[in-house]
Amino acid sequence: MLDIRQIRENSQTVKELLNRRGEYDLQPILELDEKQRQLETERSQLQARSNQVGKQVGEKIKSGSDPKGRDIQALKEEGNKVKAKLSELEPEEKELKAKIEALLLPLPNLPSESTPIGKSEAENIEVKRWGDEYIPQNPKIIPHYEIGEKLGIMDFERGVKIAQSRFVALMGAGAALERAIIQFMLNHHIQVGYVEVMAPLLVNSQSLTATGQLPKFAEESFKCAADDLWLIPTSEVSTMNLYRDEILSAEQLPIYHCAFTPCFRREAGAYGKDTRGLIRLHQFNKVEMVKIVHPNTSEEEHQKLVADAEAILQALKLPYRILELCSGDLGFSAAKCYDLEVWLPSSGTYREISSCSNVRDFQARRANIRFKERKKKGTQYVHALSCSSYFLSFLVTFPVF
């Protein structure tokens, strides 16, 4: 969530940065914020007067005045009027704060100063390419889903029978391959300092709001109708919310976590797009890396995160490229993002396989995750980073044939 103080004090700068992503109107927020601050000032003044009246009553009684005397009764009457007015203002101010938050929650993160300006994925910038020598030269390579069906390791028809379209059952070597890649990835991440997490696959609305999926992307998620529980679209949700509403010490930072989970998305709006095989499934496996870090180190940690994702692809000898996303193609929570795309021989193109984002303090504000440094007053919001790697068995099926 964006900082209301930043919007108030630098509204033009915030608007210009938001407009790199699309069209956003900050005026309703500024108007409500002005009303809320006026109410806050009035309430503070009334509270101060209420305290003053109470003190005066106590002092007069202590000095010998009759508790039922006219002057004391007049003060008490004034105090009662002030309290009555306060009881009117407090819910009004609370309502205004709720309205401001409702307008802030759908706003995306501000792109970082170094994020390329652009309107769509066509303006993303390729910053690196690796492994061209591993690109197969066989022009007759067939798609991964045909390979999977011929080998009997991917059963799409039975997946549909069990659930609905865009579900698959991995069989025999397919299931073993998926499990092996998951273990390989987790082992690698743990060896370089990540702590594995196995957190709930069902989360409450507050958790999804904290990481930015709600309210904007409710239609993309599966909800349990009888409970306030949602199936996770990514283990980033569970992992980040481990620390929701906590104040960490600076000595605890950085925190590195990795997690394997099945993930679930409706893929609303994907009709007519490439949905064959293991692409755009409603249920899919991911290994996620999450970092919670000091703001001063988040840019450096972002580069390390990308390198950790690259190490997996290089170990598997999968040719890939890295794209720096432009402002118009950033994910909702990201301030800066790099996508890793693997070469797909059967279609002669690169396909996104991993997305590494620095969200800065955007999620920390929503989740209220702060830290405190020794000998410094107050607290600061942490910075958060995440990197997903998915379509796991899809990763290694096609280069072998």
| Confidence check: pLDDT of 365 > 90 | yes
Q: Hey, which residues does 291 pair with through a beta bridge?
A: 256, 385
Residue 399 has what pLDDT?
45
Calpha distance 252→238 (Å, rounded)? 19
| Alpha helix ranges (H) inside 23-168 | 27-62, 70-104, 144-151, 156-162
Residue 401 has what pLDDT?
39
CATH number where 155 lies: 3.30.930.10
- Same-domain status, 129 and 87: no
Q: At what angle do helices 70-104 and 27-62 cross, to 10 degrees?
A: 160
Question: Does some domain include residue 11?
Answer: no
- Same-domain status, 89 and 126: no
Question: Does some domain include residue 95?
Answer: yes
Note the pLDDT tens digit of each residue in 195-214. Answer: 999 999 999 999 999 999 99
- Same-domain status, 386 and 261: yes
Question: Does some domain include residue 273?
Answer: yes
26 confidence band (pLDDT: 50, 70, 90): very high
Q: Hey, which residues does 263 pair with through a beta bridge?
A: 284
Note the pLDDT tens digit of each residue in 58-97. Answer: 888 888 888 788 888 888 888 899 899 899 998 999 999 9
- Same-domain status, 66 and 153: no
Contact 298, 312 (CB under 8 A): no
* Mean of all residue pLDDT scores within the chain: 92
Count: domains in the chain: 2
- Same-domain status, 260 and 390: yes
Note the pLDDT tens digit of each residue in 133-186. Answer: 998 887 778 888 888 899 999 999 999 999 999 999 999 999 998 999 999 999
> For residue 94, what are the domain limits?
25-104
Calpha distance 322→319 (Å, rounded)? 11
280 confidence band (pLDDT: 50, 70, 90): confident
Domain limit, last residue, from 104, 138, 161? 104
Calpha distance 123→192 (Å, rounded)? 33
Question: Does some domain include residue 238?
Answer: yes
Domain limit, last residue, from 69, 104, 139? 104
Question: In residues, how long is the chain?
Answer: 401
| Confidence check: pLDDT of 104 > 80 | yes
The owner of tokens 């949700």 is: 237
Residues with Cβ within 8 Å of residue 44, at least 6 apart in sequence: none
Question: Does some domain include residue 190?
Answer: yes
54 confidence band (pLDDT: 50, 70, 90): confident
Contact 97, 22 (CB under 8 A): no
- Same-domain status, 99 and 248: no
Question: Does some domain include residue 132?
Answer: yes
Question: Does some domain include residue 17?
Answer: no
Write the Ramachandran bin of 61: left for phi over 0, alpha for psi from -120 to 50, otherwise beta. Answer: alpha
Average pLDDT over residues 117-128: 97
- Same-domain status, 254 and 388: yes
Question: Does some domain include residue 14?
Answer: no
Query: Comparing 67-71, 100-104, 229-233, which segment has the lowest mean pLDDT?
Result: 67-71
